[in-house]
Amino acid sequence: MSITLTTWSLQQTSPDDLRPAAAPDGDVRIVRAEVPSAEFSRFLYTAVGGDIRWTDRLGLSYAEWQKIVERPGAEIWVAYDRGTPAGYVELDPQDDGVVEIVYFGLIPAFRGRRIGGHLLSYGVQRAWDLAERWPDRALTTRVWLHTCSLDGPHAMDNYLRRGFRLFGTKVEEAEETEAPGPWPGAF
């Protein structure tokens, strides 16, 4: 069965575009996963994206996954709620000072707790100051991401509230896939 899939591309072109969300109540910390770990990255990917049909990386081999997390300048920032991983943001530095937020989201049990806006704000700040941690990278001139009609119902609003602006829309017919969930996708 086919579905209509809409993908929106959004961007910020200045650090001044960012409108940070307030930090949530409680013991929420955001920490960079500094040791490149294919296993941890895959855990985050399946735990966050399993119910919203993230499938593009599920077929990758261990070596392919490790290559992604070892790219110079690539970063994964993880939100922890009282010591438990709650979500993450993955940054991919590209050419000419462009940084893509490749993946961002929360594990379902942590959605609706005001963690997402805070994590996105923090991740965008880290995209803007990426060159401070990676001196061989160009200064960031643009931060961009894409979201689609399969993502959570609050995703687009969160991006717009953080100061992202729409720069592209693509509508296509796609085959509907069953949401793999974190367990079937974690083979």
**45: closest CA among 183, 182, 141, 156?**
182
Range 2-180: architecture per CATH = 3-Layer(aba) Sandwich (3.40)
What is the structure's pLDDT at 3?
Answer: 84
pLDDT greater than 50 at residue 186: no
- Rg of the chain taking only CA atoms, in angstroms: 16
The two tokens of residue 21 are 């969300």
pTM higher than 0.85, yes or no? yes
What is the structure's pLDDT at 185?
Answer: 44
Q: How many Cα atoms are found within 13 Å in the side-chain-facing hemisphere of 13?
A: 3
**79: closest CA among 29, 117, 122, 40?**
29
Q: Per-domain residue ranges for the chain?
A: 2-180
Please write the tens of the pLDDT for every residue from 34-61: 999 999 999 999 999 888 888 889 889 9
Please write the tens of the pLDDT for every residue from 95-144: 899 999 999 999 999 998 999 999 999 999 999 999 999 999 999 999 99
**43: closest CA among 74, 85, 3?**
85
